[in-house]
Amino acid sequence: MAEIVGGFIMPHDPLLFVNPKKKERDHLIGAYSEIRDKVSKSGATKAIIFGADHYILFGPRCLPQFLIPTGELHGPIDRLPGVGDSPIASDPGFAEYLVGHAHQSGFDVSVARDLGVDHAIGVPAQLALPADGSVKTVPVYMASGVAPYVRLQRAYDFGRMIGDAIAKMPVDESVVLIGSGGISHWVGTGEMGRINSEFDRKVLDCIVSGDATPLLSMTDEEIMREGGNGGMEIRHFLAVMGALPAGRGEVLAYEAWDGGVTGLGFAEILPA
């Protein structure tokens, strides 16, 4: 029987890699390595990474609410210093199983048969998973960057459905879940550069307590105002929390890093 052995949240801020202001960042890059070690020790065989498209992969002709690529993977296609566009170990059969379970459970997930992933998936896949390809990745793209946004409760319920899919898998697998996203950040708006540590703490507190209610009761307007349009990515954290209900968390690193524009939080969520 398959089971979830751990959950993580982490950012994918491109500026952390471009590092235009040449700021100290080893401790942040180190947080990815710390998670990679934890994933290795957990014996994980599969990873599901929840991320956003930033209007790079999907154009105005097809904007999905949820999308799972079911083919081979590589990325990030938007290459970053230290994070090249290279193959990502995939498992089309597992991806198709999740799509089938989603459809059967009333989630109308779109699919991609051929997709190079962007930094939202590529950064965690390349930095937080073992480099030997032993952990096969399934990405889940959620509409967190382009409206209409996935509803918060729906993001949480999607995670619950994924947890159910894993519990019902007839084979032995150990799965880690990754919510990929910055906390507060403004992208392409006049506020860009602002980081709201108060919002970031509120989000991290929910992850630590394992109680998603305060996040689920926010409106999108509140998130936009306090966490920016980038803050809409908390949907990815909610998906992980939905799959690990009542799982308490631990913050591994947090910084309102002045080398970039994003509240950077790394945390672990343990199964209850």
Partner 1 sequence: MSFGAVEQLFYDVSTKRNSRAAFREDATAFAEKYALSELERDMVLSMNAEGLFEYGINPMLLMGFWTSVNGPQSMPDYLSRVPTLTSQLETVSE
> Which parts of this chain interact with partner 1 (CB under 8 A)?
54-56, 59-61, 70-72, 92, 112-115, 145-147, 186-193, 221, 224-225, 228-229
Beta carbons of 15 and 187 less than 8 angstroms apart:
no
Instruction: Provide the pairing of β-strand 73-75 with 86-88.
Output: antiparallel
103 lies in the site for a copy of itself, by CB under 8 A: yes
Find the part of the chain contacting a copy of itself (CB under 8 A) among 11-19, 56-64, 181-189, 199-207.
56-64
Angle between helices 152-167 and 234-243 (to 10 degrees): 40
Minimal distance, residue 129 CB to partner 1, in Å:
21
In the complex, the smallest distance separating the C-beta of residue 59 from a copy of itself, rounded to whole angstroms, is: 8
Instruction: Return the number of the residue (67 or 135) whose C-beta is nearest a copy of itself.
Output: 67
Query: Considering the complex, what minimum distance in angstroms separates the CB of residue 117 from partner 1?
Result: 13
Task: Tell me: does residue 190 bind a copy of itself (CB under 8 A).
Answer: no
Long-range contact pairs involving 53-59 (C-beta distance under 8 Å, separation at least 24): 53/118, 53/120, 53/141, 53/143, 53/145, 53/146, 54/118, 54/120, 54/145, 54/146, 54/187, 55/145, 55/146, 56/118, 57/115, 57/117, 57/118, 57/141, 58/141, 58/146
Whichever of 151 and 225 has its CB closer to a copy of itself, that residue is: 151
113 scored as a contact of a copy of itself (CB under 8 A): yes
Q: What whole-number distance in Å separates Cα of residue 231 and Cα of residue 240?
A: 16
Q: What region, left, alpha or beta, does residue 245 occupy, with left being phi > 0 and alpha being psi -120 to 50 degrees?
A: beta
- Residue 55 binds which of partner 1, a copy of itself, none (CB < 5-8 A, kind-dependent): partner 1
Q: What is the size of the binding site for a copy of itself (CB under 8 A)? A: 29
Rank residues 17 and 66 by Cβ distance to a copy of itself and give the closer one. 66
Residue 58 makes contact with a copy of itself by CB under 8 A: yes
CA distance 237 to 227: 14
Q: Note the residues at the interface with a copy of itself (CB under 8 A).
A: 57-58, 60-67, 71, 99-100, 103-104, 106-115, 148, 150-151, 154
